[in-house]
Amino acid sequence: MTKNALDWEISPGLTDYETALTRMQARVADIRAGAAGELVWLVEHPPLYTEGTSAKREDLQDATRFPTYKAGRGGQWTYHGPGQRVVYAMLDLAKPHASVPARDVRCYVAGLERWVIATLKEFGIKGEIREGRVGIWVARADGTEEKIGAIGVRVSHWITWHGLSLNVAPELSHFGGIVPCGIAEHGVTSLKALGVDVGMEVVDAALARHWGEIFG
């Protein structure tokens, strides 16, 4: 960890969700105290469902399928599992980050969306945003739309935590235990389902290349 600098970390294997929550909370406290720099942390989790602050209990359709956790972030129900890149960003929004002005959570979320869209473009996938639907969407030729990236953040004393998930090659049937993000009328997809069969390290490298375009 480097004080007053951005750390970029990729954890191997599967990271326990409660361990991730504990670590994020500790890092947020350290950033606020000036004891550590900002952190972008890339992980994969074992199969699980997380409950955001706006989640509806009826949207958890199979409570016995995987463990469930109260995430404390914004948003609704989300699935995490192997083959999905989860990015936890702990940034100090009291200061600007390139295209994201200080103390502007809406612009921060929009920046996360632009970051994923730029990354997807490298793989020939057109990611899009939709009014009233946070996240990144892919439009099929038949007019259907599927979600490829979810965003759920929390901001504590202007320090961000939680972040986003990008479906690289997860088991898409695992989303069937929830109504993802409370949206029943649209499905989910992944790079692999769209014909892009690449390793997680390739996606990570693309994410790293495009970070500076948005956040400096």
The set of catalytic residues is 181
Q: How many CB atoms lie within 10 A of CB 101?
A: 12
Using the CB atoms, write b or e for 23-42: b if 16+ within 10 Å.
Answer: bbeebbebbeeeebbbbbbb
Q: Please list, in sequence order, all residues whose beta carbon lies within 8 angstroms of the beta carbon of residue 159, skipping any fewer than 6 positions away.
A: 28, 31, 32, 90, 91, 92, 93
Q: Which residue has the tokens 């996938």?
A: 125
Considering only CA atoms, which of 179, 200, 196, 192 is closest in space to residue 79? 179
Using the CB atoms, write b or e for 155-173: b if 16+ within 10 Å.
Answer: beeebbbbbbbbbbbbebe
Strands 39-43 and 84-90: antiparallel
Q: Which residue has the tokens 């953040």?
A: 153
Amino acid at 185: E
